[in-house]
Amino acid sequence: MAEKLRLMAVHAHPDDESSKGAATMARYVAEGHDVMVVTCTGGERGSILNPAMDRPDVLENMSAIRREEMANAAKILGIQHRWLGFVDSGLPEGDPKPPLPEGCFALVPLEESTEALVRVVREFRPHVIVTYDENGGYPHPDHIRTHEVSVAAFDAAADPDQFPEAGEPWQTLKLYYSHGFLKAKMTAFHEGLLARGEESPYTEWLANWDPNRRDNMERVTTQVPCADYFEVGLEALRAHATQIDPTSRWFAVPLEMQREVWPTEEYELVRSLVDTTLPEDDLFAGVREKVHV
C-alpha cells in the first residue's frame, strides 16, 4: 500500500489559493493525496473588487466574510486549510508610499512568523511545499513576506535545534515557486481569442509589456497537466465573491479553449532532496519513488 503524498501550498491571502495552482491541487486531491493550504493573513485589508459586493454590510464584516469565502473555496477544492493568524498588510499606494500599518504581517519579525509556519509543517508533514518566488509573484508586501517565511520554514522545520517547542522535526523533500502570470500563456490566450474572432482582454496588457522584463516562463521547470480541474479552480475563485469580479478577465477565456491552448499549471523547482529529471510534469516526481512502502 502506497503512503499518501502530502502537498502544502503557502499563500498570503484568502483567494490566492484559488488563483494560483488551484487546478493542480484539485487534481492531487482527486488522486487521493492530502493537500493543505496555509493562508498567512486574513485578507482584512483587501479591497472589494466585485462591484456587486461593494456594500456597507460587507465592509463592516470584511474579516468574517473573507473567512467564510475561504471555507467555501476549501470545500470546493477538497483541501485542508489552516490560518497562520497574521494581519493583512494592505497594498501601499501613492508616491511616496505610506508606511505599513503597525503589527501587520510584513512587519512581524521573521522568526515569529517562521515559527508559526514551522508548527504547521511539522504537524502536516508535507512532502512538497509550494509558495511564491522572491518577488512574491507580484510585489505585494504580504506576498514577499510569504516567500521569505516559506523558504525559512522549509529549512527550519527539519532542524531539531530550531523551534524545538514547535513539534517533531520534518524534512520536506521539494520546494517550488508557482508561476501563473506568464507572458507566453497570456499571448497564447490572446492569439486564441483573436483567431476565434473574439475580443481579447490581454491586448493592452501585452502592448504595455516592458521589453526588458523577463518572462517567468524561462524559470519554469515543471508543467502539471490539470485541464480536467480548471472548472473546479474557477468555481473556487468565484467563492471569493468580494475579491473576484465575475466579468473580469479571469473568466474571459472559454474553458474549452483554456484546456486546448494551455492545459497545464507552471512551477519552478528550487530545492529537491530527491532525484528528478527536468523538465517535470508532476510535483511529486522523485517523491513517489522515495515514499512508497
Cα 118 to the center of its chain, rounded Å:
18
User: Could you give the CA distance from residue 29 to residue 24 in angstroms, rounded to a whole number?
Assistant: 9
User: Could you give the CA distance from residue 17 to residue 34 in angstroms, rounded to a whole number?
Assistant: 15
3-state DSSP call for residue 238?
Answer: helix
190 is in an annotated binding site: no
User: Could you give the CA distance from residue 107 to residue 104 in angstroms, rounded to a whole number?
Assistant: 6
User: Could you give the CA distance from residue 85 to residue 104 in angstroms, rounded to a whole number?
Assistant: 11
33 is in an annotated binding site: no
- Calculate ∠ Cα 35-37-41, nearest 5°: 175
Three cell numbers, residue 292: 512508497
143 is in an annotated binding site: yes
User: Could you give the CA distance from residue 73 to residue 29 in angstroms, rounded to a whole number?
Assistant: 14
- Asked if residues 66 and 269 have their Cβ atoms less than 8 Å apart, the reply is no
Residue set of the binding site: 13, 16, 143
Residue set of the binding site for Zn(2+): 13, 16, 143
